[in-house]
A and B are shown apart, each in its own frame.
Chain A
Amino acid sequence: MLFNSIDFAIFFPVVFLLYWFVVNRNLKIQNLMILASSYLFYGWWDWRFLSLIMISTLVDYTVGCRLKDQENQAKRKALLLTSIFINIGFLGFFKYFNFFQDNFVKAFSFFGREIQPNSLNIILPVGISFYTFQTLSYTIDVYRRKFEPTRDFIAFAAFVSFFPQLVAGPIERAANLLPQFYRHRVFDYGRAVDGLRQMAWGFFKKLVIADNCADLVNQIFSHSADYPGSTLLLGAFFFAFQIYCDFSGYSDIAIGAARVLGFDLMRNFAFPYFSRDIAEFWRRWHISLTTWFRDYIYIPMGGSRGGPWMKIRNTFVIFIVSGFWHGANWTFIVWGALNALYFLPLLLLRRNRKNLDVVAEGKIFPSLREFAGMLLTFGLTLLAWIFFRAESMDHAISIVTEIFSTSLFTIPDLRDLRYPGVILILIAGFTIIEWLGREEQYAIAHMALHWKRPFRWALYYMLVMAIYFLGNVAQSKEFIYFQF
């Protein structure tokens, strides 16, 4: 079920009413209800894929329980490997089987041996990368004795499949989310209102900014050969906002929906386009995934300790794995490698933790230096996004080549684009709101905290009307990150 669908508009209020009015007295039943509604939410796409979540849940629950009682280190390791093998096995099969097969065939044909591949028509289950990482983090934390395994199967199954963040995160850690299923949840006015507000902001980002940008991006990228560099750069610019608003919009809806139900999810985006360097960008973009890779891959590999070569190796590994996590395509790998290249100089010069605070905190305008840093960082990410969005490496290279040609200085060709001017104005307005709210958890939290009720309500009505009149809602567009 998509958040941006009529189905969800019915589903969520029904769940809300049942959750707070019918099953609110019994924690077990409340958790059971979350589990049932999560399975319904997920099964709405394709009920057959529910079996994958169920298997994953069963495996990690069992492994967790066994790990608690097991003292023998070799057996503990075997249990951990079982969980990793099954979870990564599913992920690998559904997401990477055809990629590896195609590349093996190409590699063999390069050496003069032709192989007939058995191509499988594999459909990628929605959100598999997200819930796989979430369950893995539980097992790894239990293995490391950082977290006490649960004996409450319903709570664990609800934690794995919790519908607000099931299909596109934030990828929660068991230490943060699972204990919330053990506690009796009491309705809190402030949290519920805040949750609804964040949901409304998420819908605005998705439907008004991301989905309107999507049409322009699709047109420009699918006809890239017909456009000059200036239009292609504009396409990359629109894509930067599309992917940000799409994904952070989803996170806002997820965090907001969870808050309405009495849960606190981790923050996933912290105004990444106001970052002054790439290291700061990666502390602010898809935080739940970045910290996952940091904790479960980067640090175990030695992190930034050791000599420069080790730092370089670890940085490349982490960024390339991150790229590969997004999809089975060389374009994602190059996107990851490019980011590693951007990040490395900062790491080697020990300047990667320079910008830890909020940019221009307490001020209206940034300094010239901060502004230049933001502009440069945004420019670098823009270049990397081209690889992320392109269909293939050839496609990406042709776009980049055209952008770095003299056609960059021509007037952009906007003839076949639907309302690019209106969308640029929307992006400008959106950026101003984000800038004003950059010290809060999400942009309009600032207005909610400082404005009087009539103005706040006027803002909410304006958001609803903006979504109605400006939102690209003719057909519910899936969130980009569902495919990852």
Chain B
Amino acid sequence: MKRFLYHLSIFALGLLVLNGAAYVMVYRIDFKEVKDYVKADLDFDTFLLSDSQGRVLEMVTEQYGVYNFSWNNESYVDMGRKLKYLARNTRLSRIIVGVPDYAILNYREQYNNNDKSVYFTTFRLEKNKVEFLRDRYLKRYVVLLNARSRDILLGSFREKMKSLVSGPAQPPKKWAEVSDGERREHALTRAEEQYADSTVSVRLEQALEEMITFCRENNIELAGIKFPLTQVYINTLGEKDPGAERILRRQQIPVYDYTHLYETRKELFRDQDHLNPEGAELFVRVLSGEVF
């Protein structure tokens, strides 16, 4: 046994060195993102919580007294953690959440920020302690067990190789300048990605319900918002079950639906389901009159 443990320790030491090297590389790239992710202006009392659809609004909302606390891939589990954090640390009175149709599907459960939003919660607050420890410490420090860190490394490596071979990356074509065929193709790819598995995630459903209950118990006003989409994407999606919206409406929580607001205005979009800065500016002005 001694021999086994000795050899295992030496081998583990080697793995530790590899893990350390990977950690340093991942940390360099990821640290900035985590730093940005956890940054919040706690002087506000109204916050927007959404995924990338809300994130594109950037800081424009601040002019109207709403802090945009959205992030790409944000799920209701992440938003729930942020909500409780805000309730503990701010004069929170109102929360506006994004309610796209895919918000409670397995897709969103798979692509989330659980390993980042864990910074907003504590061991005591989390129901699933094992998951908390796994996300907060294991995934963070044992990068060899974290698929996301691998993707970060590979992504950065690929980008470097690409820029070495073909020079700096060209900015993507503007959505309005893309051909109709290409637009349809992009929309289809996106729809297949988001709705490949249309199963409702019980976890996300529960997380949203918990957010609603939490807001009720703490006198926080809650509202839902559906962001504008392009016509091609609306047509590609067809009829989808608006799961999150249904839950909110059932609980008599207002949902502002702007899906069709700019459907014919290609020039306001970055891609099929995200506004560009110009669209964001315009949209926030609409929100300021009707929602904020």
**Which among B4, B130, B148 is the interface contact of A192 at CB below 8 angstroms?**
B4
Check A20 against B1 for contact (C-beta < 8 Å). yes
Q: Say whether B4 contacts A468, CB under 8 Å.
A: no
A-B contact pairs, 8 of them (CB 8 A): A7-B134, A20-B1, A193-B4, A457-B11, A461-B15, A468-B22, A474-B110, A474-B151
Instruction: Give the docked Cα–Cα distance between A181 and B138 (Å).
Output: 34
| Chain A residues within 8 Å of B147, by CB | 473-475
Interface residue? B178 (CB, 8 A) = no
Number of interface residues of B (CB under 8 A): 21
Decide if B285 is an interface residue (CB 8 Å cutoff): no
Q: Which residues of A contact B242 (CB under 8 A)?
A: none
Smallest beta-carbon distance A189→chain B, Å? 5
Chain B residues near A93: list those with CB within 8 A: none
**Residue among A6, A465, A469, A473 making CB contact with B138, cutoff 8 Å:** A6
CB neighbours of A474 from chain B (8 A): 110, 147-148, 151
Does A14 reach chain B (CB closer than 8 Å)? no
- What per-residue 1/0 map shows which CB atoms of A457-478 lie under 8 Å from chain B? 1001100110011000111000
- The chain A residue with its CB closest to the CB of B145 is A6
A187 beta carbon closer than 8 Å to chain B: yes
Q: Which residues of B contact A (CB under 8 A)?
A: 1, 3-4, 7, 11, 14-15, 18, 22, 110, 130, 134, 138-139, 144-145, 147-148, 150-151, 154
Minimum Cβ distance to chain B for residue A356 (Å): 37
A192 to B3, CA, bound (A): 11
**A432 near B: Cβ within 8 Å?**
no
Separation of A187 and B3 alpha carbons in the complex (Å): 11
* Complex-state Cα separation, A468 to B21, whole angstroms: 13
Q: What is the 8 Å Cβ interface bit string for chain A, positions 425-466, against chain B (1 contact, 0 not)? A: 000000000000000000000000000000001001100110
Contacts of A7 in B (CB 8 A): 130, 134
Residue of A nearest to B144 (CB): A468
Among candidates A189, A460, A473, A475, residue contacting B11 with C-beta atoms closer than 8 Å: A460
Q: Which one of A460, A468, A475 contacts B150 once the chains associate, using CB atoms below 8 Å?
A: A468
Question: Which listed residue, B14, B110, B134, B138, touches A475 by the CB 8 Å rule?
Answer: B110
B3 touches A469 (CB 8 A): no
Q: A469-B150, A475-B110 are in contact. Are A9 and B145 (CB under 8 A)?
A: yes
Cα–Cα distance between A10 and B148 once the two chains are bound (Å): 19
Given contacts A6-B145, A189-B3, A464-B144, A469 and B154 within 8 Å (CB-CB):
yes
| Residues from chain B with Cβ under 8 Å of A457 in the complex | 11, 14
Give the 10 A-B residue pairs with the shortest CB-CB distance, closest first.
A473-B147, A474-B147, A187-B1, A189-B4, A192-B4, A6-B145, A189-B3, A468-B144, A475-B110, A6-B134
Q: Which residues of the partner chain B approach A192 to less than 8 Å between Cβ atoms?
A: 4
Q: Give the interface of A toward B (CB within 8 A).
A: 6-7, 9-10, 20, 187, 189, 192-193, 457, 460-461, 464-465, 468-469, 473-475
**Residues in chain A near residue B22, CB distance under 8 A:** 468
Residues of B within 8 A of A189 (CB): 1, 3-4
In the complex, chain A residues whose CB is within 8 Å of the CB of B154? 469
- Closest A residue by C-beta to B8: A196
Q: Determine the residue in chain A with the shortest Cβ distance to B134.
A: A6
A187 and B4 in contact, given A461-B18, A468-B150 (Cβ under 8 angstroms) = yes
Contact assessment for B14 and A461 in the assembled complex, using a CB-CB cutoff below 8 Å = yes
For the complex, what is the distance from the CA of A469 to the CA of B14, rounded to whole Å? 17
Q: Is the CB of B15 within 8 A of A464?
A: yes
Q: A6-B134, A464-B144, A475-B110 are in contact. List 11 more A-B contacts (CB 8 A).
A: A6-B138, A6-B145, A187-B1, A189-B1, A189-B3, A193-B4, A461-B18, A468-B144, A469-B154, A474-B147, A474-B151
Please give me the residue from chain A that is nearest to B148 by CB atom.
A474
Q: How far is the CA of A474 from the CA of B139 in the complex (A)?
A: 12
A473 to chain B, nearest CB (A): 4
Residues of B near A468 (CB, < 8 A) are 22, 144, 150
A residues in contact with B7, CB < 8 Å: 193
* A10 and B138 alpha carbons, distance in the complex (Å): 10
Bound-state CA distance A468–B110 (Å) is: 19
Q: How far is the CA of A231 from the CA of B147 in the complex (A)?
A: 29
A256 to chain B, nearest CB (A): 14
Could you tell me the distance between the alpha carbons of A475 and B138 in the complex, rounded to whole angstroms? 16
A464 vs B145: C-alpha distance when bound (angstroms): 10
Q: Considering the chains assembled together, what is the distance between the CA atoms of A20 and B18 in angstroms?
A: 28
Whole-angstrom CA separation of A272 from B214 in the bound complex: 57
Q: How far is the CB of B241 from chain A (nearest CB, A)?
A: 19
Beta-carbon nearest neighbor of B3 in chain A: A189
A residues near B151, Cβ cutoff 8 Å: 474
| Nearest CB in chain B: distance from A379 CB, A | 31
Which residues of chain A come closer than 8 Å to B4, judged between CB atoms? 187, 189, 192-193
Q: Give the distance in Å from the alpha carbon of A457 to the alpha carbon of B11 in the complex.
A: 8
Nearest Cβ on chain B to A325's Cβ, whole angstroms: 27
By a CB distance below 8 angstroms, the chain B residues around A461 are 14-15, 18
